[in-house]
Structure 1
Amino acid sequence: MKTEEPVDLVVALPHEKLILGVLQEAGAGRMVEMADRNADLGLARITLRDPRSVAEHVADWYSQVRPGAEPAATSTPALDRVLIDLRAGFATLNGGWTPTMGKNRAVGRVPGMRNPRAGVSGAGEVSHGGGGAPRKVDEPGWAKARATTPGRGARVGIVDTALRRHDYLAGAWIGEQENGLPYAGGLPAEAGHATFIAGLVLRQAPGATLSVTALLDDSGVADSWEAAVRIVQLGREGLDVLNLSFVSYTDDGMPPLVLSTAIDRLDPDIVVVAAAGNHGFLDDGQERKVAWPAALNDVVAVGASSARGDGEPASFTPVGAWIDALAPGEDVESTYLDGTVRVWDEPDGARRERGFNGFARWSGTSFAAAAISGAIAARTVPGRASAWQAYEWIVRQAEEAAGENRRAEEPLLIEPDTLGWPSWVRRR
């Protein structure tokens, strides 16, 4: 997945006029336009129509504010140059103080696909390792009927791709729905991401209600501004758990402004569960790249455990102390698309058409996150046991199972027995 260079500057609403005033002073006023203001986020989005020209004007402004100082290198992406020089200029003029600002980054799905372009970048380019493309399976026995407990009364939010119609999911969710496979030659495999996640949650908590909002397009791509808006909107619906199986990366390892702001705006009683990314198979340090929003404070960051059952992370799970837990996410089975789907084939990475019947096996930390979200919902009893209490119970059980063998810097391994999953998650 290759994304375009970001062109939106994001600023705190109280600092909006200040930033626009400086851009006007720098001679770039006509090169920018106000794209959006969101009172729920407390942020404004400013589009740079010509980012390179804006960067040159802001560099000249900074050189006047601080004569002799070196502006950001011209080899740096244009929007980054604008941010670097604006911050340096404001710090010079205000004793080190700078306005709250960032950029509208790309976010991507984490379905465990293999992208022919290996690598992750601050612009949001994501490469997916893991178990490759989804694989068709026959209709499983568990799909014949869905129970009404556990999870009755619990509500799980899912911000993901559009949800496709599926008999197993019927009556269990609210939100927009996409019907069928409207594309000639079938949808890309990523379009079934939310459907797969919804099935995993309901297998754990069949009585729960899913609140679903489509953020990612059928190729699994969106931007962080829209993600933040959807997160805040969905957070008003009385959620117990919010599942976020998408990622964004930053070059400096710092959290994206809009995503961290959105999480801060949520009711603290909501347990936010997020996928840690599928870049663990990379090298040269990229396997340690921090993924957002998973690494934010008060978000449960989930990696996938190996299907071998040896307690080790799956090969695509990234490395880092910011990951809180490992859960089954390799070669797991769930609801999926029905019809012709274009999947990535190994080893050449080409798209090829494959037929599906509504069920598949797939790998990725997205699905490990869904396992945790479903397990929390299954143990949530509104008015009696909150989602955080349910998560803490799961953690205690996992810690007792691990005993003294677990090292503090390692993610907590949450075994299928603790989650309540049946033995099929171990089957290859």
Structure 2
Amino acid sequence: MTRYRHRAGELLVHADDCAALGPELARFGYHPAGAAGTLRRFTGTRPVPEVLAALREPHRAGPNHLFGADRIIWGDLRPRPTDKDLTPVPAGDIRHWAGVIDTGIVLREGRPHEFLGGRVRYDPEDTVRVVRGEDGNPAGSAGHGTFVAGVVLKQVGPAVGVRMKGVVDEQSGDTEDLAVANALDDLREEGITLINMSFSGETFEDTPPKAIEAALQRLSPDTVVVASAGNRGMRQRVYPAGIRPAPTVPGQVDDEHALVLPVGSADSSLTPRVADFSNFGPWIAAYADGVDVVGPYFHAGYPGQPPQEVPKFNGYAVWSGTSFSAAVVTGRIAAVMATGKSARDAAGEVLGAAGRITVFDVNGSSEVPHVQGN
């Protein structure tokens, strides 16, 4: 069984490689079936891992990888009710937009959550329906995008808004390589230079996902992409967070392409430390508060609970995960951008002014930026 997850019967090939690789793929029953940017989609019936293992040059083709918010919906890191809430901030003259690629926005009576109010922008396809279980409670990941957007907006004033791109499936919590790439292209065309991606996954032979990597290369060099490092408590690099070297490594900053910041979770309940669930390692650029984060979640009284359980869901929840650590960093960068700085300069200021968290690894200890959230 492969460790990476992918769309069955689909391979991605760069347009420049199609002439050479197409005939070989045809022998395995794979044929062109559409394009996205510089990539071509090939479809067939034989299992993708089997085809890749048989290709003479397997790295010239790649799976259409699937990414998700691991452990966040059905696993150990579930949203929990809280007696805390947040005071909505009315929208001002919004001059800066942070892009969020996620599940989309949940609407109730045609409106987003009151905390988001007029500070979130979306198209009809960026809204999400709530998948309900037999008990009537949410059975999927629909609330994830609203929560992430809310955590971003907690960090900023009324001049910053969130531009939501809904690509993560509300039931499975999955999103594919190509869908993320298309969302990145859309945000680029809208002139958005700060983007949050709170999902992750492993890839074929630990290589960057082809479509997302190509879309990142199309972004302007002053763009910053903040990505969650994953919730499996492991050292292994995951994607899309791991596509580029961490900017804290001397000599590895790439000024010709967008900057990707992989963010892990810190537990600040006592002395700040890496959260037990957070991925870690030298590839991570920063850690941010990610344990029991308060954010908007559906509406008061939903999800339903047994009468004896308190507190009740009050329209907000506490949730843990690197998804929300990434949102904290995105929000902090957006707040600095509102003072007139570029996304890249704002990211440098946020990480430079952050405290430090000690990370212990097989090679000893290191000090990594620790960004605190509101």
Give secondary structure in 1 for the equivalent of 2:72.
coil
Residues 1:186 and 1:33: Cα distance change in structure 2 (over 3 Å): farther
Per-residue CA distance 1:277-304 (angstroms, 9 max, x = gap): 0000xxxxxx122110111113100001
What is the identity percentage for the equivalent residue pairs of Structure 1 and Structure 2?
29
Per-residue CA distance 1:373-395 (angstroms, 9 max, x = gap): 0000001037x311111111112
Which of 371, 383, 386 is 2:342 aligned to? 386
- Displacement of 1:32 in angstroms is 2.8
Determine whether 1:42 maps to 2:31. no
Which of 61, 67, 88 is 1:101 aligned to? 61
Matches of residues 23-62 of structure 1 in structure 2 within 5 Å?
23-24=25-26, 26=27, 28=28, 31-38=29-36, 41-48=37-44, 50-51=45-46
Instruction: Give the AA of the match of 1:32.
Output: Y
- Displacement of 1:234 in angstroms is 2.0
What TM-score results when the alignment is normalised by the length of structure 2? 0.81
Which of 211, 216, 225 is 2:163 aligned to? 211
Per-residue CA distance 1:47-100 (angstroms, 9 max, x = gap): 11x21xxxxxxxxxxxxxxxxxxxxxxxxxx32332243234xxxxxxxxx883
Which residue does 1:284 correspond to in 2? none
Give secondary structure in 1 for the equivalent of 2:206.
coil
1: distance between equivalents of 2:367 and 2:17?
A: 39
Matches of residues 309-348 of structure 1 in structure 2 within 5 Å?
309-338=270-299, 340-341=302-303
Matches of residues 8-23 of structure 1 in structure 2 within 5 Å?
8-23=10-25
Asked if 2 retains the 8 angstrom alpha-carbon contact of 1:187 and 1:342, the reply is no
2: distance between equivalents of 1:335 and 1:99?
A: 42
Matches of residues 251-266 of structure 1 in structure 2 within 5 Å?
251-266=204-219
1: distance between equivalents of 2:60 and 2:129?
A: 43
1: distance between equivalents of 2:214 and 2:78?
A: 34
Matches of residues 58-97 of structure 1 in structure 2 within 5 Å?
78-88=47-57
Matches of residues 278-297 of structure 1 in structure 2 within 5 Å?
278-280=231-233, 287-297=234-244
- Displacement of 1:355 in angstroms is 6.6
Instruction: Give the AA of the match of 2:337.
Output: T
2: distance between equivalents of 1:263 and 1:409?
A: 31
1: distance between equivalents of 2:323 and 2:367?
A: 16
Which residue does 1:134 correspond to in 2? 79
Residues 1:220 and 1:23: Cα distance change in structure 2 (over 3 Å): closer
Which residue does 1:156 correspond to in 2? 98
Asked if 1 retains the 8 angstrom alpha-carbon contact of 2:196 and 2:330, the reply is yes
- Displacement of 1:409 in angstroms is 6.6
Instruction: Give the AA of the match of 1:188.
Output: A
Residues 1:79 and 1:342: Cα distance change in structure 2 (over 3 Å): farther
Matches of residues 156-175 of structure 1 in structure 2 within 5 Å?
156-164=98-106, 165-175=112-122
Asked if 1 retains the 8 angstrom alpha-carbon contact of 2:67 and 2:175, the reply is yes
- Displacement of 1:342 in angstroms is 8.6
- Displacement of 1:44 in angstroms is 0.5
Asked if 2 retains the 8 angstrom alpha-carbon contact of 1:321 and 1:409, the reply is no
Residues 1:8 and 1:189: Cα distance change in structure 2 (over 3 Å): closer
Which residue does 2:148 correspond to in 1? 197
Give secondary structure in 1 for the equivalent of 2:242.
coil
Which of 351, 357, 366 is 1:395 aligned to? 351
Determine whether 1:307 maps to 2:268. yes
Residues 1:179 and 1:102: Cα distance change in structure 2 (over 3 Å): closer
Residues 1:81 and 1:411: Cα distance change in structure 2 (over 3 Å): farther
What TM-score results when the alignment is normalised by the length of structure 1? 0.71
- Paired residues in the alignment total 338
Which residue does 1:146 correspond to in 2? 89
Residues 1:239 and 1:336: Cα distance change in structure 2 (over 3 Å): same
Which residue does 1:373 correspond to in 2? 330
Asked if 2 retains the 8 angstrom alpha-carbon contact of 1:189 and 1:341, the reply is no
2: distance between equivalents of 1:336 and 1:358?
A: 5
Per-residue CA distance 1:16-73 (angstroms, 9 max, x = gap): 233222334x3x4xx33422212xx30001111x21xxxxxxxxxxxxxxxxxxxxxx
Residues 1:4 and 1:18: Cα distance change in structure 2 (over 3 Å): closer
1: distance between equivalents of 2:356 and 2:166?
A: 37
- Displacement of 1:235 in angstroms is 2.1
Q: Which has the higher strand share?
A: 2
Instruction: Give the AA of the match of 1:375.
Output: R
Determine whether 1:414 maps to 2:370. yes
Asked if 2 retains the 8 angstrom alpha-carbon contact of 1:6 and 1:106, the reply is no
Q: Which moved more, 1:363-372 or 1:202-211?
A: 202-211
2: distance between equivalents of 1:355 and 1:182?
A: 20
2: distance between equivalents of 1:182 and 1:406?
A: 39
Asked if 1 retains the 8 angstrom alpha-carbon contact of 2:11 and 2:64, the reply is yes
Residues 1:367 and 1:269: Cα distance change in structure 2 (over 3 Å): same
- Displacement of 1:316 in angstroms is 0.5
Q: Which has the higher helix share?
A: 1
